[in-house]
Amino acid sequence: MIAVFAPGQGAQSPGMFSPWLELPGVDAQLAEFSEATGLDLLALGTTASADDIKDTAVTQPLLVALGVIAASQLGLEAAGERVVAGHSVGELTAAGVAGALSPVDAVAFAGRRGAEMAAACAATPTGMSAVLGGDPDAVVAAIEAAGLTPANRNGAGQIVAAGALDALEKFAAEPPAGARVRPLAVAGAFHTHYMASAEQALGAYTAGLTVADPRPILLSNADGAGVDTGADLIARLVRQVTLPVRWDLCLRTCADLGVTAAIELAPGGVLTGIAKRELKGVDLVAVKTPDDLDAARALVAANPQHGQGEHTPEVRVVVTPAKGVFTRDESVDAGREIAQGARIGTVRTNRDEHEVVAPTAGVLAEWLHHDGDIVAAGLPVARLTNGSE
C-alpha cells in the first residue's frame, strides 16, 4: 500500500513554483487557481519574498495549489491500494487528491481558510512553540497545566504548544523535564479555540460546496481515522481549524494499514523526515521539485493496481458524549472484539455520568486517553479497526 502525504504551513519557500512552470499546463492551472482565490498565485509563488508568503492568507492557498499540481503529475490513478493524508491545511490538498474536492475548490477553500484564520489571529495576540524531546505524556500534561493547548502532535518527540503569548513565555522559561521549547514564527494559535471565528465562517462557506466521497481513503488529522464520506470530510475540515492536529495518529494508522511506501507532495521534506523515524522500513520520496517526479512515479509503478482496493482495514474512533472525567471500562482491553453499542467507558460530569459506547463493531486497537483524563465532548478516546487484511 502507498501513502500520499501533503505538507502544511511552514513548508513554503520563495520561488517554489518556478521549476514547475516548465511543465505543460501548469501556468493554466495557476491562472485558474488565481481567479478562484483572487490572489496572483503565479507572482506569489515565483517572485515574492519570504516575508510576502508567510502571511497565513497567502501561504495556505499557495501550498494547496502546488500540492495538487504535483499530484497531477504522478499518475496516482494507476496505483494500487493507497491512502492520503495532509498535515493541517495539507488536508485540503489531500481532499483534492482523493477526489472529494475539485482542485480549484480545494485551492479556493484554502484561500478562504487562510483569510479567516489570519483574521482570527489578528483579533487576539497568540502564538505557538515547538516542544522538542521529553516524555510525550508528560509534555502534554505540562502544556495543559500551563493553560495552553497541545495543538500539534507530530510524533518523533515533536509536540507544539499554542495559546496566549504570556503563557507561552512562562512555559518556555520552565520547560518539561528533558524538553526544550522553541517559539515558532506563526501568526497565532492555530488549531485551538482562538480560531473559533474561522470555524464559524468556514461552516457557512462550505454549505454550498460540492463534495464527493473521498477515494482512496483519507485520514483525518483529528484522530487518524479513515474518512469515507464527503459529508463527514467537510464537517471535519471545518472543525479542523480549532482541533489539534494528530499527525502521530495518522502515521499510526498508516502502520496499521501496512503502508510500504509514501510520497510527500511538493513542497516536500518535513513529513518524510518525521515518517523516516515513525514508519521504519517504508520507502519514502519527498517531491520538492519536478526533478523528484521520476522517483515518485517509480514508487507508484512498484505498487500497481490490482482490483479495487477493497481490503483496506476500516479505522473508526470512539468519541465522548460530554465533557468530563474519562474512565475506561475494566472489562475492555486493547485487542478485544467490541460489539456495536458496547460500553467501553464513562465520562463523569459534576452532575451525572455518561456512557461511552462503540459506534460500530470492531477490535479495540488502541486507547487514546487514560483513566482520569479530562476530556471534551466529541473527543476521541479509543480507535477501532475491523482487523481485515
- What domains appear along the chain, each with residue ranges and CATH number? 2-121+193-301 (3.40.366.10), 126-183 (3.30.70.250), 315-385 (2.40.50.100)
d(CA 327, CA 331): 12
pLDDT recorded at residue 78: 64
pLDDT recorded at residue 24: 93
Q: If you average pLDDT over residues 214-235, what whole number do you get? A: 90
Catalytic residue, candidates 34, 191, 220, 369: 191
Q: What percent of the chain has pLDDT over 90?
A: 71
Confidence of residue 360 (pLDDT cuts 50, 70, 90): confident
Q: What are the b/e assignments for 135-166, b being 16+ CB within 10 Å?
A: ebeebbebbeebebbbbbbbbebbbbbbbbee
d(CA 84, CA 5): 6
Would you call 311 a catalytic residue per the annotation? no
pLDDT recorded at residue 389: 40
Q: If you average pLDDT over residues 22-47, what whole number do you get? A: 96
Q: If you average pLDDT over residues 357-370, what whole number do you get? A: 86
Q: What percent of the chain has pLDDT over 70?
A: 95
pLDDT recorded at residue 306: 52
Residue 388 has pLDDT above 80, yes or no: no
Grid cell listed for 170 = 512562562
What is the average pLDDT value for the chain, to the nearest integer?
Answer: 91
d(CA 354, CA 114): 37
Number of residues that make up the chain:
389
Residue 260 has pLDDT above 60, yes or no: yes
pLDDT digits (tens, 9 = 90+) for 121-178: 999 999 999 999 999 889 999 999 999 999 999 987 889 999 999 999 999 999 999 9
d(CA 275, CA 209): 33
pLDDT recorded at residue 312: 46
pLDDT recorded at residue 317: 78
d(CA 27, CA 142): 48
d(CA 214, CA 84): 9
pLDDT recorded at residue 156: 72
Residue 21 has pLDDT above 90, yes or no: yes
Please return the burial class of 285, using the count of CB atoms within 10 Å of its CB with bins 0-12, 13-18 and 19+: buried
pLDDT recorded at residue 386: 72
pLDDT recorded at residue 79: 67
d(CA 242, CA 117): 10
pLDDT recorded at residue 313: 52
pLDDT recorded at residue 3: 95
Grid cell listed for 169 = 513565555
∠ Cα 128 83 234 (to 5°):
60
The answer for residues whose C-beta is within 8 angstroms of residue 44's C-beta and 6 or more apart is 52, 53, 58, 62
d(CA 297, CA 263): 9
pLDDT digits (tens, 9 = 90+) for 51-73: 999 999 999 999 999 999 999 99
Determine contact, residues 66/96, Cβ cutoff 8 Å: no
* Peptide linkage before 7 cis (omega within 30 of 0): no
pLDDT recorded at residue 342: 92
Would you call 87 a catalytic residue per the annotation? no
Number of H helices, E strands in the chain: 12, 18
Lowest mean pLDDT, pick from 39-43, 189-193, 292-296, 374-378: 374-378
Grid cell listed for 167 = 503563557
Q: Work out the widest C-alpha separation in the chain, in whole angstroms.
A: 64
Residue 387 has pLDDT above 60, yes or no: no
The answer for residues whose C-beta is within 8 angstroms of residue 166's C-beta and 6 or more apart is none
Catalytic residue, candidates 88, 129, 220, 369: 88
The answer for residues whose C-beta is within 8 angstroms of residue 339's C-beta and 6 or more apart is 358, 361
Of 88, 280, 279, 67, nearest to 195 by C-alpha is 88
d(CA 70, CA 293): 8
pLDDT recorded at residue 307: 46
Q: If you average pLDDT over residues 360-366, what whole number do you get? A: 87
- Residue 93: CA count within 13 A, CB half-sphere: 31
The answer for residues whose C-beta is within 8 angstroms of residue 98's C-beta and 6 or more apart is 84, 214, 215, 216, 217, 218
Residue 314 has pLDDT above 80, yes or no: no
pLDDT recorded at residue 305: 61
- Beta bridge partners, 328, equal 345
